[in-house]
């Protein structure tokens, strides 16, 4: 029996791979462009959508970064977060750990505190709405290691607002070890760590080896090229290192969803999770990603329940909270099947 969209939407879940800047919908982009007098070169929703032309990570990022110019003050960052969290609530996301890219804003003159205070205000509003949201600060890997270190220093007064750090942007010529020093410092401070290992990059498997064995990440963002090395798959299963997979995003920036790899990892017992990455650009929020994967790869309700349970088990919450959310999933499934 195929899995219904309604069942997947109602399934309690955690979102662990979501770029707040990737939730900038055309409506908000146009409103902020007008408010802040920023010329974005488009004036209608159709024109904004028509500019979404990409078929690789690099071409996606070329559309993605210029759009951020419309984000100027605390209120703008707060509005962006709140808009996403309303959608998250609608998709029954109970807990989320959200990426943000401070350097994409500080590099164009927006102060670090404007970014973090704005996003954090949004997160507090989200919590009042019943979505337990947290921030993961990402470094842009196509900027220098010194710039990442400066950003880490700027973040020190705000560490109580930052659950973890990550690494995103263009992976080509920007391997994980470029950032070993700043990740080491963060780990010593007890901050959680993950890194993107984007799909089908030059030396993807070498990067995956390094994030696991040299950086010591707790999760890998994307990372399905790991299937090329069975010993590494054994290692992540044994050490419960999670994968934050994004099937619809993959289908935009590579030639397919990479669902075959996700299903293989799932069957091997890896903590595979499903997420939306940059939902405004790929026009797919988390339940749509669940549905796309389930329908294309003929996954059962039980497979999708496992993925939802994995999302809490791979998250950075207490063991007690994990148990509570997993009980919530069991109760939901029992009520739907009654």
Query: What is the Cα–Cα distance from 297 to 151, expressed in whole angstroms?
Result: 41
Residues in 21-40 that interact with ligand ADE by CB under 6 A: 22
Residues in 251-280 that interact with Zn ion by CB under 5 A: 277
Site membership for ligand ADE, residue 258 (CB under 6 A): no
Site membership for ligand ADE, residue 278 (CB under 6 A): yes
Query: What is the Cα–Cα distance from 207 to 20, expressed in whole angstroms?
Result: 25
Contact 82, 72 (CB under 8 A): no
Binding footprint of ligand ADE, residue count (CB under 6 A): 10
Minimal distance, residue 21 CB to ligand ADE, in Å:
7
Q: Which is nearer to ligand ADE, 12 or 166 (CB)?
A: 166
53 φ, ψ to 5°?
Answer: -120, 105
Site membership for Zn ion, residue 198 (CB under 5 A): no
Minimal distance, residue 150 CB to Zn ion, in Å:
22
Residue of closest CB approach to ligand ADE: 168
Q: Which is nearer to ligand ADE, 94 or 105 (CB)?
A: 105
Site membership for ligand ADE, residue 309 (CB under 6 A): no
Residues in 47-66 that interact with ligand ADE by CB under 6 A: 57
Q: What is the DSSP secondary-structure string of 153-167?
A: HHHGGGGGG--EEEE
Query: What is the Cα–Cα distance from 244 to 222, expressed in whole angstroms?
Result: 5
How many alpha carbons lie under 13 Å from residue 100 in its C-beta half-sphere? 32
Site membership for ligand ADE, residue 259 (CB under 6 A): no
Contact 98, 134 (CB under 8 A): yes
Site membership for ligand ADE, residue 102 (CB under 6 A): no
Closest among 252, 214, 226, 245 to 307, alpha carbons compared? 245
Site membership for ligand ADE, residue 19 (CB under 6 A): yes
Contact 28, 80 (CB under 8 A): yes
Which residues lie near Zn ion (CB under 5 A)?
A: 277
Which residues lie near ligand ADE (CB under 6 A)?
A: 19, 22, 57, 168-169, 196, 198, 249, 277-278
């Amino acid at each position: 029996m195929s899995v219904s969209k309604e069942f997947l939407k109602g399934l309690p879940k955690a979102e662990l791979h979501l770029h707040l800047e990737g939730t900038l919908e055309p409506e908000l982009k146009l409103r902020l462009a007008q408010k802040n007098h920023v010329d974005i070169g488009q004036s209608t929703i159709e024109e904004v959508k028509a500019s979404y032309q990409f078929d690789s990570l690099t071409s996606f990022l070329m559309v993605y970064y210029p759009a951020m110019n419309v984000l100027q003050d605390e209120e703008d960052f707060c509005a962006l977060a709140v808009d996403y969290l309303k959608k998250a609530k609608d998709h029954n996301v109970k807990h989320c750990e959200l990426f943000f890219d401070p350097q994409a804003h500080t590099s164009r003159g927006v102060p670090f505190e404007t970014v973090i205070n704005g996003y954090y205000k949004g997160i507090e509003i989200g919590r009042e709405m019943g979505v337990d949201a947290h921030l993961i600060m990402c470094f842009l890997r196509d900027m220098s290691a010194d710039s990442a270190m400066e950003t880490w220093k700027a973040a020190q007064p705000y560490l109580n607002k930052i659950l973890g750090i990550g690494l995103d942007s263009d992976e080509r010529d920007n391997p994980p070890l470029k950032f070993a020093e700043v990740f080491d410092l963060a780990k010593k401070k007890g901050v959680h760590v993950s890194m993107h290992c984007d799909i089908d990059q030059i030396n993807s498997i070498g990067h995956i080896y390094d994030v696991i064995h040299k950086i010591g990440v707790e999760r890998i963002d994307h990372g399905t090229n790991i299937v090329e090395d069975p010993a590494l798959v054994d290692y992540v299963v044994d050490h419960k290192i999670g994968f934050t997979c994004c099937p619809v995003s993959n289908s935009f920036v590579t030639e397919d969803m990479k669902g075959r790899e996700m299903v293989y990892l799932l069957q091997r017992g890896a903590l595979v999770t499903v997420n939306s990455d940059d939902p405004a650009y790929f026009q797919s929020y988390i339940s749509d990603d669940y549905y796309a994967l389930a329908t294309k790869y003929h996954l059962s309700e039980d497979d999708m329940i496992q993925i939802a349970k994995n999302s809490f088990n791979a998250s950075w919450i207490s063991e007690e909270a994990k148990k509570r959310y997993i009980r919530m999933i069991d109760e939901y499934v029992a009520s739907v099947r009654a």
